[in-house]
Every structure is written in C-alpha cells, then in structure tokens.
Structure 1
C-alpha cells in the first residue's frame, strides 16, 4: 500500500537522513519561487557590477556576457536539483555513491568552507545595509543582528525557507524593478552607453563570473527539492529550478550592471543603488536587508548539513535531527561572526577570490556527480548503503571517481585567473578564466568512460526493486 503523505511539521525534523515518501510535500512550482527569490540579493548585484567595474565592459557587452553565463551555468545547477525528489537525501550524502563514504569528505569540506565564506560575506552586507538605514547602529551590531535572523530561519528549516522565498519573489522582484525604474527616470549619466568597451578577455571573464554564480549552488540545490514526491517528473523539477534561478540572478546581475555605470564614483554597489534611487533608496536598503537575511539562511543551512555529514561519516549509527541542526548552527554562527567582524572592511573582494579557488575543486565534482546520476546509474542507488559504516557497495573510497576528480583539478590549473593564483595560460587568453569550462569538458568524458567500464565488470549497479525496497524500509522505520 502506498504511503499517505503526512502534514509537514512547522519545524523541520530531518537533517541528512532520507526523507520517506509519506513525509514528502510541496509542488514543483515552489522551486521557481525558491530560486528566483533567493537570487534577488546584494551579493549577485555586487557580482553583476564587476563586468563594468572590474572588466571594463560596455553596457551591452556586459549584458550579453551575463546572459550567456547564466543560461549555461543554470543548466548544471538545475540538473542537480532534479536529483532531489528521486533520492530524498541531501546532495553531499548522495556524493558518497560516487566517491565512497570517506572519499566524499574531500568535497564536503570544500562545500562547507564555501558556505561559511558566503555566510560571512552576506552578514557583512546585512550589517552595512542596516547601518545605512540607521546610522546609529554600528556595522558590527548590524552584522550580529543579520546573522541571528538567518540562524532563526535555518533552525526552523525547509518549510520556512520555501515560504520566505515565495514572498521574496514578489516583494523583492517588484522592489528591484521599481528601483531600477526610478534610477532610469532620474536620468542616467552622460556616457552611460559609451563607457567601457568590448574586449574578448573581459567578456569571457564576465561570462565565467556569471556562470560560476550558478555553479556555486550545485552542492546544495537538491537539498531544497528532496521533500518533493518521488513521482514528480525530472523535467518539471529541472525547468522550474532553471528558470527561477536564471531569471532571478539575471535580474540582480543586470541591476548591478546598471548601478555600476549609473554610479561610477563608488565601488560600493549597494550604496550606489541607494544614492541613485533618490527617495526610494531607503526602501531599496530595507528590501536588501530582508533579502540578505533570507538568502543567507541557505548558506547557513548548507554549511550545517555539510558539517553534520562530516560528523556522521565517523559516527554512522548517529541519526541527527533538529536539535543537532540547532547546535551546529550556533557553532557556525559564532565562527562566521568572528570572521566577519574581523575582516568587514575588505572581506567581499577577498571572498570573491576565495570562492573562485574553491570552485576549481567543485567543478569536477559537478561533472562526476551528474554523469554518474544520469548516465551511469540512471538515478538508481542503494540508499541504505549511503549510510552504511563501510559504505556498502560504494565502499569507503572510489578510486575511479577520486582519480577522475584529481585529473579534473589538474587540467584547470593552467587556466585559473585569481589574485591568489594565476595559471600560465591565462595571459595568452587575455586574462580570462576558463578553468571551469575546461574542468567540465575534461572530467565528464574521463569519468564516464572509466565508470561505465567498471560497471560492466559488475560494479555498483542497483535495480529498481532494490531502490524501492530501501525507500519502503525507510518509510516503515
């Protein structure tokens, strides 16, 4: 007899464990608002402005680069999202099927570091937004208040995150459109369309930055689709996620481009929006304060699930629940606050370089995970083995995935362009960072050929019956 869906509790009880079918809920269209709403935030605004501020592109060349990067990058993050309803586990747990229970820790640690970096940078933006609204409130106090707001959302969990992003889709979407309309109505500066110029290297760099914004969601995007019923069509999950994330982030990136040219005298894009919008500026800051707190809850949620995954690897009998999420959230909160208050003066620029380096090690993971799910195992995994002490049929280490992963990192290094490290092939390309594209194009075929060969020798193939039996056992438990 099929399980009957139960009413979802207000406070999420699950963490990294499998969500049984009788606890699945929600609609596919919730994924559109989830990813549209969360992308209307100051950080994509700041990132979008870099096309004209850092790479000195003209308005139209920056717009074209942003569109190309978003349309391409969102493909990968949406493919990850479509895994959620089929498996019902967080993305980092599912990675054990490719890398092994211990081998996957390499990816989980990198993902956790990236989430904490995102969280710290966003609470700095929250502090500055609150200080802009109420100058009597110090930036550090604003940082603490913004962090506490995100922590509360994270503690309540999945349902509240989705609900807030439904609100954010309409409120923040309308707010940023009205704000842009006010900026244009007040008059764009002379030379708005003639400032900057197209350079192939700068254009490619802007494309990469736009695509990498989408790729940064890949390690946790399926965490927000895993409660949907397994009967949801993969294509529906993909397109709802794709257009929600693509349209939301494109709107924020393009707004950053407009503000970057409309306020050429300031490097602070959020402050530039406040100034350019005149009397509507305080409304923009208020909306951004809400958006930062809302968006940042995802970073804290992802960091917490990653850290719990690390701990559970060494304590496989442990089934962490809501209390564990609260405790780990508090630990991450304290650490991020120390980082943010100590480095608030110049954290965002340093953070961008750090994330670009971290993405070098996440890009080959994306290729391996997607190839394995869609072409090797075709979505069929023994879910119980993902939590087995010895990794079950997936083992503790998978040399095929780990070697392919190392190759994927190695081929990227000559093409990396950051202030922390610049590869030898960057100069011939005019300074463009194409490491992510090279990593995807090399890692995917290497892993596919190797993994298929091992599968034909009797590797880790799972039948539909085994998958169903695992889920039924979980639902009964």
Structure 2
C-alpha cells in the first residue's frame, strides 16, 4: 500500500534527481491542477497573450480562437508528460535517458537548461519592470534582483514549498484575475473601435496558435518533475486531466486579458496598460501577478537545476547530488540568468518573441520521440536503475535511432520556419505562416515508431528481465 506522508511545506527537500521511493510519495491529483493553474496566472502569460494583437496583428475574435486552440492542442502533449511522473518517480530529463541513452540524452538536456535560463531571465525582466512601475524608487535592475532572489529561496526548499506556493496563488491570482476583468470591462471600459482594430491574416492566426501551443509544450521537459512525488496509484488519467485543465485554464484566461489590454492601449506597453485599465486597484493587480512570476521563476530555476544536475550525474555516475548540490547549482544558474536579464531588458519583447519561437523548433521533435516511446513502444515500463548507469544499462550510451530522429525533426522544420532571424522558403510562399511544429510532429512520430518498433520489443524484453531481477533481489522500483 502506498504511504502518503504529510510534512510542512517549509521542509527542505533532500532528493534531487534520484527516483522517489514509494514510501516518500504523497499528494493527490488535484495538486497538479493547482500547481499549473496558479503558476500560469502571472504577467508573462498576459504579455504572451497580447502578442496575438501587438505582434501578429489579429482582431479580437481571431486572437481569442487562435489562443484557445493553441493552448488546447499544446496542453495535450504537456499533460501526457505529466502523467509519466507518478509511474516512474524521476525527473523528466532523467527519464529521457530511456529514449536517447545515457550520453545521447545530453543533447536534449543541455538545450533544456538553456530554455530554463531564457524563461527565468524573461521573468526577471518582466518582474523588475513591474516593480519599477509600481514603485519608481525601485529601479528595474533592483526589481530584477529581488524577483530572482525569491526564486532561489523557493528552489532551495524545493518541491513541497513550490506546490504550497502555487496552491495559494491559484486562489489569490484567480480572484485578482476575475477582479481585473470586471474592472477593465465594466469600470474602465473598452475603446469604441475595440472590435474594429487589426485585420486577420493566415500568418497571424498560425503564428498565434504556435505561440500558445509552445507555451504548453515548453512545460513538457519538466512537467513530470512536479508529479514524480505523486503516489504510484494516482493513475495516468487523473494526472493527465488535472494537469491539462490546470495549465490550459491558467494560461487561456490571462492570455485573453492580454488581448484585451493589447487592443486597448496605444503605446504597446502591456504592463503599463494593465495598470492604467485597472485604475485604483492596478497596483494590487500587478503586485499579485508579480508574485505569480516569482512562483513560476522558482519552478524554472528548480527544474533547470535538476536538469543541470542530470548532466553532472551522467558524467559522474557515482555522484548522487542532494540538497546542497541543488543550492550551489541554483546559485550558478541564477547568476547566468541575472546577467542575461540585465543585458537584454531594453529589447525585451523582441528578444522574448524570437526566443520562444526558436524553442518551438527544438522541443517539438523531443516531445514526439518521448511520447511515442513512452506510450507506444515501452508502454510506460522502464528499467529505472539503468537511467543512473554510465553505460545506460539496457538503453546504452547512445540510441542513434532517437538522436537521428531528433536531428531530422529539426531539419524538416527549417523550410517552414518563420522568424525575424530566418524565414524558410515554404513559409515565404505561405506569406510568413509558420506550421513548422506541425510538420515536425507529423514527420518524427511515425518515423521513430516504425524505426524503433523491432528493437523496442527487444529492449522491452531486456527491461522485463532487469525489473524481474530487481524484484527477486528485494528491490523496489
């Protein structure tokens, strides 16, 4: 029977990338709803929603449909990853060794660390600018530092404190979001030409869908980090739906607010527009949403730290990093993100848009390979002990099938890419429409499945034998 422990949220988490044993498991599926709902109601989500009308130039209803569609599509992949946590009890990037091999996984893990640094830096900039807007004597640089320190503190305490923080923010941020809608729509009011602004374009619609889908896909590399402590009997279905609706609703609602703000202000400053349109409660609204940034930043830094520790443990398999290692690594990653934030704050919107579009191209083939392998090849069964061996155990040093499919997944997207840095020939022919992520998913998923079906069967036989041996020796997965 699974033991559900209850501890204070301020208890420092001792584990890092190790498999969570059954007696340490705790929590319920509803905790996955609150962590993703609470973590998404923040300023960066509002700003991302505003991109639909400020960058992609869509009118209100087209922006609304595109954002909802993108989130609902991307949320499927995010939630499928979340459902893996209770089954395996390890961080997502450790589990990636089961597809790519011990050294082969480093290709993806290092890219994911870069992703965390980018999101952490983006949140630092936005949080610093918001604090400066709320209280002018606090400079943007000082605000960046303050928001960053909060993230480091939460990372030090780890899993429980982050869950508790986002649980509180689910209620607080949710109530404030509702209040912001009421004030914006009925007290301040919308401009007379609100529904007449902008013109719908195919590139704009596809670009907005892509941005919203990526918002969800960006959680894929670490979503199971926050479900790995869940009891093994939580169930994949319960974990899926709690994560799906928590993340989708928590993203869609503030993104729509961003659309409203973006169409209502003339200067394009979404944070300033939010303060203006919420009047006397504007300071309170932005303050609460800024606390939401701190919660999400803690999650980015926490998971970035686990991924960086995964790299270290791959190179030094005998090393089993614990809480002190997490603290030291978090400090190093914070220093890098702080530097990025201080240097890139003046071109924030341009840098942020380019960053998340580039992320799309490297995340899509990985998520396709991981999900096909987990659900269609391995059927959720892995030999976790092999994840922590230098030679990869039954998964080997490098799974060239996965690595080659991953590289192929990036290459096939190039003609369909549409960014400020590069636009592929097919995207140009489609007037800038970006469907690269759809192409990547469509190509990689079947190729990986058929290429690995036979060897995957052989691997499963080896996995069953290894797991049976572990049980006979008295081990508990």
Task: Answer whether TM exceeds 0.5 for this pair.
Answer: yes
Whole-angstrom distance in 2 between the partners of 1:252 and 1:62? 13
Summarize the alignment of residues 7-22 of structure 1 with structure 2, pairs less than 5 Å apart: 7-8=6-7, 10-22=11-23
- 5+ residue gaps, structure 1, are none
Q: Which residue of 2 aligns with 1:227?
A: 229
Whole-angstrom distance in 2 between the partners of 1:229 and 1:288? 31
CA drift at 1:298: 0.9
- 5+ residue gaps, structure 2, are none
Whole-angstrom distance in 2 between the partners of 1:269 and 1:18? 42
CA drift at 1:391: 0.6
Q: Which residue of 1 aligns with 2:380?
A: 379
Q: TM-score, normalised by structure 1?
A: 0.96
Whole-angstrom distance in 2 between the partners of 1:98 and 1:368? 8
Summarize the alignment of residues 372-411 of structure 1 with structure 2, pairs less than 5 Å apart: 372-411=373-412
Q: Which residue of 2 aligns with 1:128?
A: 129
Q: Which residue of 2 aligns with 1:196?
A: 198
Whole-angstrom distance in 1 between the partners of 2:46 and 2:418? 22
CA drift at 1:352: 2.5
After superposition, what is the alpha-carbon deviation per residue over 1:128-171, rounded to whole angstroms, capped at 9, x for unaligned?
A: 11111211011101111110011101111101111111111111
Instruction: Please state whether the residue corresponding to 1:425 is helix, strand or coil.
Output: helix
CA drift at 1:406: 1.4
The alignment yields a C-alpha RMSD, in angstroms, of 1.8
Whole-angstrom distance in 1 between the partners of 2:333 and 2:136? 28
CA drift at 1:472: 9.7
CA drift at 1:276: 1.1
Indicate the larger mover: 368-377 or 399-408. Answer: 399-408
* Structure 1 pair 455–52 and aligned structure 2 pair: CA distance change class (3 A): same
After superposition, what is the alpha-carbon deviation per residue over 1:367-407, rounded to whole angstroms, capped at 9, x for unaligned?
A: 00000000000011000000012110100100111111111
Whole-angstrom distance in 1 between the partners of 2:469 and 2:87? 14
Summarize the alignment of residues 165-180 of structure 1 with structure 2, pairs less than 5 Å apart: 165-180=166-181
Query: Is the counterpart of residue 99 in structure 1 residue 100 in structure 2?
Result: yes
* Structure 1 pair 42–474 and aligned structure 2 pair: CA distance change class (3 A): farther
**Mapped contact 2:4–2:27 kept (Cα < 8 A):** no
Count of aligned positions: 474
Whole-angstrom distance in 2 between the partners of 1:148 and 1:74? 30
CA drift at 1:435: 0.9
Q: Which residue of 1 aligns with 2:278?
A: 277
Q: TM-score, normalised by structure 2?
A: 0.96
Whole-angstrom distance in 2 between the partners of 1:454 and 1:466? 16
CA drift at 1:176: 1.3
Whole-angstrom distance in 1 between the partners of 2:267 and 2:301? 30
Q: Which residue of 1 aligns with 2:220?
A: 218
